[in-house]
Amino acid sequence: MFCGDYVQGTIFPAPNFNPIMDAQMLGGALQGFGCDKDMLIDILTQRCNTQRLMIAEAYQSMYGQDLIGDLKEKLSDHFKDVMVGLMYPPPSYDAHELWHAMKGAGTEENCLIDIFASRTNAEIFQMREAYCLQYSSNLQEDIYSETSGHFRDTLMNLAQGIREEGYTDPAMAAQDAMVLWEACQRKTGEHKTTLQMILCNKSYEQLWLVFQEFQNISGQDIVDAINECYDGYFQELLVAIVLCVRDKPAYFAYRLYSSIHDFGFHNKTVIRILIARSEIDLMTIRKRYKERYGKSLFHDIKNFASGHYEKALLAICAGDAEDY
């Protein structure tokens, strides 16, 4: 599979969409004494992000209140995180996740890795703008102050969003592969810098060729070579970049699987991936998950989550009985 292959999300624009009617229904669900959580799930998971933003506008003019504010006030725990997360435009959601990953107690490096290893130049540009608007802060400066070493250098490079796009130079691929191989042998600071420059700046198409050449030269897969030569978050980030170049949905399937099984259901990661990929490639991620791990994502979420939180996650997955 090459990264350019067809991928599919799980959430699409709802037909016969009526934001005013939806806003009224949400008002009914949120304004009373109780809170009709089923209604919230039925509406917010069955509309695309653009439609949700239109509902929020209608809600504001109807009730004079902020829908996100009301969701935060009425809901709690992980269910709240899902419903509120659905209301952010994608760049704002990435910015929100990065801010909390860096400004919470200790830096949540895995969130930084997931986002920066996988986003396109355009997504990174929009995320930087959203971050600045939402938090009056500079994303690159915050990365610089919250991380360190070659891990920081690689993130700073990715955060520029200047990867070449669509460009290939087969003659250069063998040369780049030699440089990568040498960097894995020598491991000096200079070699680490060269390694991350190639992985952060070359196009996906070019890296595809470079990884094949690397295999030819060294008889080893690039991921195995990186795992042998480096450690820590630097190594994790480099591997994440390689996996995203090869097959982004498979990378996210792997991240979901390890978040569910190795970390006792790491809620933040599961929520972030499901929401962020819901309109891009979540259906394809589900497919990869089933192929690779034997069980469906639907089945694993059902096993580990419960209540309205489980119901909301499954609705985003667009799961069905045959998938159980």
320: confidence class by pLDDT, cuts 50, 70, 90 = low
Residue 3 pLDDT > 50, yes or no?
no
Q: What is the pLDDT of residue 183?
A: 87
The domains found in the chain, sorted by start residue, are: 95-160 (1.10.220.10), 170-246 (1.10.220.10), 249-303 (1.10.220.10)
Question: Please, which pLDDT band fits residue 2 given cuts at 50, 70 and 90?
Answer: very low
Average pLDDT of the chain, as a whole number: 92
Would the pLDDT of 191 be above 90? no
Is pLDDT at 89 greater than 60 in this prediction?
Answer: yes
Tokens of 6: 């067809």
Specify whether the CB–CB gap between 283 and 11 falls below 8 A: no
Of the pLDDT bands very low, low, confident and very high (cuts 50, 70, 90), residue 324 is very low
User: Where residue 1 falls among pLDDT bands split at 50, 70, 90?
Assistant: very low
Buried b (16+ CB within 10 A) or exposed e, 158-168: bbebebeeeeb
> What would the DSSP string read from start to end of 44-102?
HTTS-HHHHHHHHHHHHHHHSS-HHHHHHHH--HHHHHHHHHHTS-HHHHHHHHHHHHH
Q: How far is CA 215 from the centre of its chain?
A: 28
Q: What is the DSSP letter of 321?
A: G
CB atoms within 10 A of CB 57: 14
Tell me, what's the pLDDT at 319?
Answer: 60
Q: How far is CA 62 from CA 28, 55, 67, 214, 317, in A?
A: 12, 10, 11, 60, 31
What are φ and ψ of residue 319, in 5° steps?
A: -75, 165
Measured between alpha carbons, how far apart are the two ends of the chain, in Å?
Answer: 26
The answer to whether 214 and 183 have CB atoms below 8 angstroms apart is no
